[in-house]
Amino acid sequence: MATFCGLGFGTNMALRRSACGAGKVFDERLGRGAPLRIAEESHAFASLLARGFCAVHVPAAIVLHPEKPRDVEIEASSSMAYWLLLFFEFPGHRLDLLRFLFRRLLGKPLTWTRDPQGPGEIISSGWRVHL
């Protein structure tokens, strides 16, 4: 879940200082302006979990960002490269990664709900958020 947006997207992350002091959180090979223009936050989640930290997802937290047009070709090539990066950097989870990719190739649904499922869509929130 951590490596494929199951913990949410990184558009509104908060990290403990102790997590940042233990080493580099974000991989400079990933994200905007990098060779692989995706998944910097998902890789950060996976790295923090691998180092023994825990993650909490708070779906009621809302941040709005304007949507930009997608470049599907670049996104696809970056995704393939990201999967290879995960395969080599997290050897203890190779089988999990291969199972995940195989399920997606077969068109099976994710085992977790993507939150949000669409830009600006609120999936589950209390009355305070809707107000």
pLDDT digits (tens, 9 = 90+) for 77-94: 778 888 888 899 899 999
pTM of the predicted model, to two decimals? 0.55
Whole-number Å distance between alpha carbons of 26 and 6: 18
Q: What pLDDT does 101 receive?
A: 86
Burial grade of 24 (CB within 10 A; 0-12, 13-18, 19 or more): exposed
More confidently predicted of 56 and 112: 56
More confidently predicted of 87 and 67: 87
Domain count, the chain: 1
Q: Which of 86, 93, 87, 105 is nearest to 30 (CA)?
A: 86
Q: For the residues 46-74, what does the mean pLDDT come to?
A: 76
Give the bridge partners for 99, in sequence order.
Answer: none
H-type helices in 17-123, by residue range?
17-21, 40-50, 72-89, 94-105
Q: What pLDDT does 87 receive?
A: 92
